[in-house]
Structure 1
């Protein structure tokens, strides 16, 4: 059966999405970062971000399914996280909901990043999907620490100043800490908040020293091996 000209691009798009779930996850997370400022505190905006978060969780589940990690562990953590995405839209001011969401999302994202890092260390060659996974794993770690900061803020109020910080502000703090650029105007005040920041700073340095350095090393070694052959 001949494919119509219209279905051929659609087939290629589906094949690309299935073949590079890490790229889809990375693109979705960066898109969510760009959309956060436009949502504000409106109910439709929170609903849209909740839907996007749900989709990203599902994409992360699909991505980790292709890695050497245990997919059922990610599913056990991810399924309740999807539920709490909905609850956050309904009760955005509830500390119980925010804490529950943070305590589910943080280990989920950390486990997804663990699966992706295992995937990166599993092969001896660098593929396009592994390059996407390198960026996606980094952003996933930043998301996980952002939810840790949210949990700290709920458990110990005023940990990041006299006012409660929004999730986007905590995500901003997480990225600036993980990348060690130090551009954030959000300052951890309590010892609990500072301890999380310290751990995140170490994680950011180790990610560059181990994961990124390995990918660069494999990229450099590959041409040398081909020349020897």
Structure 2
């Protein structure tokens, strides 16, 4: 019991861990396809919670704090307008643009945080996972914007607009370089976005993973010298 208490005390001070937890909850709840107002309101509350955690993450980075919080505020306002029923194409494009920018800004802040630290801690481990999911979520919003502005941007077994879960699955597939998605980018804009995400996925492995390995080495280097 004492171990669980100590774990909880440490976990609640890690915004990156909370962000990962909220995003995974949103991912599991996306299995439910109900369109009732109560379900959409609950999902919106989770999205707002993720945005609030993103705001806390952005405030940890000394650069572009005001700009990042503006993105979070815009995402909150326009997503609330969509919840109220103002779900025109223009409104969705604006809301997803702010959400995408907020997620990318949070990923940028976490990357700066990891590269500024000198030793590997639990927060860096959660931050590495959060950066991956933040980038994946950000590109999923961009894919949704692309299909709203350019019809038939994606080819898949289903016709019409792709669902949010399908776009998120495409985003994770491209970023992880697994290529498991059955959705193909067709329009030039969609293919450019896909190529950019492939590049981000490769750079993530090259920069973030190597940085974590370096921090782990620095952490244990003094002990080896003492011996």
TM-score clears 0.5: yes
Q: 1:94 aligns with which of 88, 102, 105?
A: 88
Q: 1:65 aligns with which of 59, 62, 70?
A: 59
- 1:51 equivalenced with 2:48 (yes/no): no
Alignment partner, residue 115 of structure 2: 121
- The 4+ residue runs of structure 1 with deviation greater than 4 A are 11-15
Contact 1:116 1:137 in 2 (8 A): yes
Deviates more, 1:134-143 or 1:211-220: 211-220
| Partner Cα separation in structure 2 for residue 159 and residue 44 of structure 1 | 31
Question: How far 1:18 moved relative to its partner?
Answer: 5.0
- 1:226 equivalenced with 2:202 (yes/no): no
| Partner Cα separation in structure 1 for residue 110 and residue 42 of structure 2 | 27
| Partner Cα separation in structure 2 for residue 128 and residue 188 of structure 1 | 37
The TM-score normalised by the length of structure 1 is 0.89
Q: 1:141 aligns with which of 135, 138, 161?
A: 135
Alignment partner, residue 192 of structure 1: 189
C-alpha distance 135-86 of structure 1, shift in aligned 2 (>3 A): same
SS of corresponding position for 2:32: helix
Aligned residues: 221
Deviates more, 1:40-49 or 1:196-205: 40-49
Query: 1:97-123: CA deviations, max 9, x gaps?
Result: 210111111111111100000000001
Alignment partner, residue 155 of structure 1: 149
Q: 1:211 aligns with which of 205, 208, 212?
A: 208
Contact 2:72 2:99 in 1 (8 A): yes
Q: 1:183 aligns with which of 180, 184, 198?
A: 180
C-alpha distance 88-45 of structure 1, shift in aligned 2 (>3 A): same
Deviates more, 1:41-50 or 1:57-66: 41-50
Deviates more, 1:91-100 or 1:103-112: 91-100
C-alpha distance 92-219 of structure 1, shift in aligned 2 (>3 A): farther
The TM-score normalised by the length of structure 2 is 0.90
C-alpha distance 14-80 of structure 1, shift in aligned 2 (>3 A): farther
- RMSD, matched Cα: 2.1
SS of corresponding position for 2:61: coil
Structure 2 unpaired stretches of 5+: none
